[in-house]
Structures are given as C-alpha cells and as structure tokens.
C-alpha cells in the first residue's frame, strides 16, 4: 500500500505539470527549431534529405544565414539527435492521419506536410515527454548519492530553476529538452557505475547520444573520465583487456553518433565537416557577460545554476567531483565563446540546459549537507533555509520565463524591434539593454508584473 505522502507528492506533481502546461504550452517551430525539425520532416514524408521545401517555412534570416549557400546548395548545420527522439511521435501522428495525401508534393513552394499543426503538436508533445523522462532519470540518478528529499529537491530544482521548462513547452522545436534527457541518462549511468560497474559500451553509447542531440555537448563526456582513467590504470597489467574496453567505449559512441555523420555526408558531401566555421571565438570568450549580464546572463535569469554549480564541490566522490566541475567549466567556456554568446532569441543561457542535471546533482549535495548538520546538531532550520533559497531561485527563473513567453521581456536582446513591446514611441526602454543596467531590468520586471495582473 502506498504511503499518503507519496500519493500527495504525485498529486502535487500532476497539478504542477498542468499549471506549467497552461502557462507555457506553445506548439510552434521557430528559428533554430527549423534546423532540428527539417531532417525528420524530409525523411518521413519525402524520403530524402533535400530540405528545400522544409526550409520554405523558416524565417528569411535563418534561410540566409544558416541554410542557403551562395552556390545554391541547401544545408543544415544542426544536429539530428532531437529529430530521432521526435520520430516515434511523428510516426504515430502519421499513422492516424486520414488526410495524408498518397504522395507528397515535390513542389518546393508547396512546403512540407510535416508542418501541419497535427505534426507540430506531435513534436511538441514528444519534447514535453522528453523533459518528463529526463526528470525521472535524474531522480533515479540522484538516489544513488542522496536520500529521497535531496534527490527530489535536486530534480525539481533542475526542472524549474533552469531554462528546461521554457524549452520543453514554450519553444519545443529546440533541442534543449532532448539534451537534458540525454545528459540525465548519461549521469545516471555514471553514478551507477561509481557503485557497481556498468558495461562500458553503455557509457559510450550514452555519450554518443549526448553528442548527437547537440554535438557541442560532447564536453559532458568528461564525467565518464573517472571510469576511463581506472581502465587505463590497468593497461600494464591487462593491456589486451584494457584496449578492448576502450575500443568498445569509442565504437559504441561512434555507432550512436553515426546517423549524424550519414546526414552530414548527404547534405554537405562529407561525413566530417565543421558546420559553424567562424562562429566560435575561442580566444575571446565573453564569460562575465554570459554569466552575469542582462543579455540572458545565466546566473541573472537562472540563479539556481550558480547554487547547483557550487554544490558540486560537495560531491563526496573526489574524481567524479572534479570531472563534473571540469565539464561544467568547459561548457561555460564553449557557450561564452559562441558568436551569439547570449543565445540569440530565447530565454536565459539556453545552451546550459544540458548541464541542468549536473546542477541538480549539486543541489542534492547541498541538501544532503544541510541534513547532515541537522542530524549532528538538531538544527532543522538549516534544511529549511536551503530549500527556501532553492525555491526562491526556481520561482525567479519561472517568472522571468513567463514574462519572456508573454513578450514582456525582449526575446533577443540584440534585436531592437524586440524592445518595442508595450512601451510608447520615444520611451528609453525601447532601446537595447546595456549589459549591466540591473535597475532597468528590475523596473521592467515590475512593469511586467503589473501587466500580467491586469490581464
């Protein structure tokens, strides 16, 4: 028989999901989402990777900047992992589509059948389910290192205190919910491996999954480093076995990543391409603006990322602790080195959604440490203070995401027209943010709150 507390928690979770869906649900394909969605749309309905009719639906800026080459070729620099994870939902929607024509139109101007609302909704539903599945996997992962309270708090914080909810519901065509799912699965396998060996092929396959969803997130493979170093340490004693294990790790990763290579070869004519040439500014990363500025600064819009990052330093496993910290720092460096380090249009530091599971792990460590002090000194308010701070950080993140979704904060801080919003002509708030004008942001938050209450 289930305990009343478990049933109450389940009921509260259902209510929370319904409220979030009512607030943020917006099944659309926008900007980068066209790059993630088009390969699946073309493969499913046209049975090829000629993306011209799919990209008819994309914004002119996206076509000119990312998809259309001067020589007339149509390319796609985005990863295909999200498309693979969406495919079951679209296949199901296609199977029950009574209005599906016998043959897809080959006219480019006709666009793609996959952009009909039923298929867009199927994609958005799959994105939401990916976020839910990622939360379940993250909770199971955190239970390997923490109690129920700490693991639950870490999972809720990773979901509500990071950009995850926004990209699971308000911008579902991006790959960030899929990257959260893949990173949670990898973290689960790694934490399980620290207690009882898991097949190294599984670790490699999950690393490949992380990379094929967003290939920049291959950095997260660093959390597998403790296991790999332990394997390498046996090289002199068992050279044959060690080399087989390492080869198995790499081979399984490559097998999972191979659809990306096949897609690149089909679109670019080569399986190995650098699709963002000139985009990364490796020698001039904008780390401080990326973390602290008004232009979607990670710790400004999602302060829980800061708390979770600090909590990683409390992870008991020393090797895993420094591997996780290294992965987090390298992710921050890579995001800050991007040409649009603020993430273009969107909310918060969206590219850090992939490290939300690590932030959840850090939060679980913070709560565990507070519980340990409580047991030693009997001071229950320590846990209460930690949970209250985490709750406040999550509430701040969700509220700013709500403002963004309602158009009350600029979608892209680098685009002047996104500042017009509800302010009259001549108002200073129609000007682009300076990086550090915190009083202006606070003033606009007050204005946004007033507008929401009037609605």
Q: Are residues 219 and 365 in the same domain?
A: yes
Where in the sequence is the domain holding 450, given as residue range(s)?
A: 416-454
Q: Are residues 429 and 385 in the same domain?
A: no
Compare 429 and 229 and report the one with higher pLDDT: 229
Question: Into how many domains does the chain fold?
Answer: 2
Residues near 246 by beta carbon (within 8 Å), at least 6 away in sequence: 228, 231, 232
pLDDT mean over 242-265: 96
Residues near 40 by beta carbon (within 8 Å), at least 6 away in sequence: 80, 83, 84, 86, 87, 90, 114
Residues 103 and 288: their CA atoms lie apart, in Å, by: 53
pLDDT at position 4 is 61
Q: pLDDT (tens digit, 9 = 90+) per residue, 142-195?
A: 999 999 999 999 999 999 999 999 999 999 999 999 999 999 999 999 999 999
Q: Are residues 161 and 271 in the same domain?
A: yes
* CB-CB contact of 347 with 404 (8 Å): yes
Residues 247 and 361: their CA atoms lie apart, in Å, by: 29
Q: pLDDT (tens digit, 9 = 90+) per residue, 102-140?
A: 655 555 556 899 999 999 999 999 999 999 999 999 999
Q: pLDDT (tens digit, 9 = 90+) per residue, 201-216?
A: 999 999 999 999 998 9
% of the chain beyond a pLDDT of 90: 79
pLDDT at position 110 is 63
Name the pLDDT band for 377 (thresholds 50, 70, 90): low
Within a domain: residue 211? Answer: yes
Which of the residue ranges 57-66, 273-282, 347-356, 372-381 would you say has the lowest mean pLDDT?
372-381
Residues 382 and 389: their CA atoms lie apart, in Å, by: 11
- C-alpha distance across the termini of the chain, in Å: 45
Residues 321 and 443: their CA atoms lie apart, in Å, by: 39
Q: What are phi and psi of 237, to 5 degrees?
A: -75, -45
Q: Are residues 366 and 311 in the same domain?
A: yes
Q: Are residues 227 and 254 in the same domain?
A: yes
Q: Are residues 314 and 181 in the same domain?
A: yes
The total of other beta-carbon atoms located within 10 Å of residue 377's CB is 9
Residues near 367 by beta carbon (within 8 Å), at least 6 away in sequence: 146, 149, 150, 153, 154, 383, 386, 387, 390
Q: Are residues 360 and 239 in the same domain?
A: yes
Place of tokens 């999954």: 209
Decide: residue 302, CB within 10 A, 0-12 exposed, 13-18 middle, 19+ buried.
buried
Within a domain: residue 312? Answer: yes
pLDDT at position 5 is 55
Q: Tokens for 186? A: 């990898």
Within a domain: residue 121? Answer: no
pLDDT at position 1 is 44
Within a domain: residue 385? Answer: yes
Within a domain: residue 71? Answer: no
Residues near 167 by beta carbon (within 8 Å), at least 6 away in sequence: 127, 174, 176, 177, 346, 347, 350, 353
Q: Are residues 159 and 293 in the same domain?
A: yes
Decide: residue 139, CB within 10 A, 0-12 exposed, 13-18 middle, 19+ buried.
buried
pTM equals 0.95
Q: Are residues 167 and 295 in the same domain?
A: yes
Q: Are residues 320 and 232 in the same domain?
A: yes
Within a domain: residue 186? Answer: yes
Name the pLDDT band for 264 (thresholds 50, 70, 90): very high
Q: Are residues 383 and 333 in the same domain?
A: yes
Within a domain: residue 318? Answer: yes
The total of other beta-carbon atoms located within 10 Å of residue 262's CB is 13
Q: pLDDT (tens digit, 9 = 90+) per residue, 50-87?
A: 999 999 999 999 999 999 998 889 999 999 999 999 99
Within a domain: residue 205? Answer: yes
Q: What are phi and psi of 39, to 5 degrees?
A: -60, -40
Q: What are phi and psi of 338, to 5 degrees?
A: -70, 150
Place of tokens 């198995």: 248
Helix axes 381-405, 4-24, angle to 10 degrees: 20
pLDDT mean over 343-365: 97
* CB-CB contact of 361 with 324 (8 Å): yes
Q: Are residues 331 and 281 in the same domain?
A: yes
């Amino acid at each position: 028989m289930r305990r009343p507390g478990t049933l109450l928690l389940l009921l509260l979770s259902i209510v929370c999901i319904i409220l979030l869906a009512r607030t943020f649900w917006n099944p659309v394909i926008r900007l980068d989402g066209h790059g993630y969605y088009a390969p699946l749309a073309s493969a499913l309905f046209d049975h090829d990777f000629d993306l011209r009719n799919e990209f008819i639906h994309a914004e002119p800026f996206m076509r000119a900047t990312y998809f259309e080459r001067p020589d007339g070729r149509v390319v796609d620099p985005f990863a295909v992992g999200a498309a693979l994870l969406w495919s079951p939902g679209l296949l199901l929607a296609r199977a029950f589509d009574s209005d599906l024509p016998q043959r897809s139109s080959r006219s480019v101007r006709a666009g793609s059948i996959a952009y009909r609302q039923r298929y867009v909704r199927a994609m958005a539903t799959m994105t939401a389910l990916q976020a839910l599945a990622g939360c379940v996997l993250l909770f199971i992962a955190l239970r390997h290192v923490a109690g129920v309270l700490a693991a639950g708090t870490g999972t809720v914080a990773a979901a509500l205190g990071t950009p995850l909810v926004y990209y699971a519901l308000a911008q579902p065509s991006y790959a960030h919910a899929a990257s959260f799912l893949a990173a949670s699965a990898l973290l689960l396998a790694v934490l399980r491996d620290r207690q009882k060996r898991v097949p190294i092929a599984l670790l490699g396959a999950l690393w490949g999954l992380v990379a094929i969803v967003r290939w920049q997130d291959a950095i997260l493979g660093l959390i597998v480093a403790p296991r790999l170093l332990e394997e390498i340490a046996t090289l002199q004693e068992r050279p044959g076995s060690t080399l087989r294990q390492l080869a198995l790790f790499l081979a399984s990763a490559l097998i999972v990543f191979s659809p990306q290579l096949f897609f690149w070869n089909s679109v670019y004519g080569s399986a190995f391409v650098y699709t963002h040439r000139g985009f990364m500014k490796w020698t001039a990363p904008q780390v401080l603006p990326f973390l602290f500025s008004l232009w979607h600064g990670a710790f400004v819009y999602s302060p829980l990322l800061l708390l979770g990052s600090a909590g990683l330093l409390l992870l008991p496993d020393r090797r895993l602790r420094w591997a996780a910290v290294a992965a987090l720092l390298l992710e921050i460096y890579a995001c800050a080195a991007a040409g649009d380090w603020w993430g273009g249009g969107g909310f918060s530091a969206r590219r850090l959604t992939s490290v939300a599971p690590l932030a959840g792990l850090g939060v679980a460590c913070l709560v565990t440490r507070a519980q340990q002090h409580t047991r030693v000194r009997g001071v229950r308010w320590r846990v209460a203070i930690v949970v209250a701070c985490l709750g406040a950080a999550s509430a701040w993140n969700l509220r700013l995401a709500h403002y963004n979704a309602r158009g009350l904060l600029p979608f892209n801080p680098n685009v002047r027209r996104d500042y017009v919003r509800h302010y009259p002509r001549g108002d200073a708030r129609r000007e682009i943010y300076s990086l550090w004008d915190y009083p202006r942001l606070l003033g606009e938050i007050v204005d946004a709150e007033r507008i929401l209450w009037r609605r």
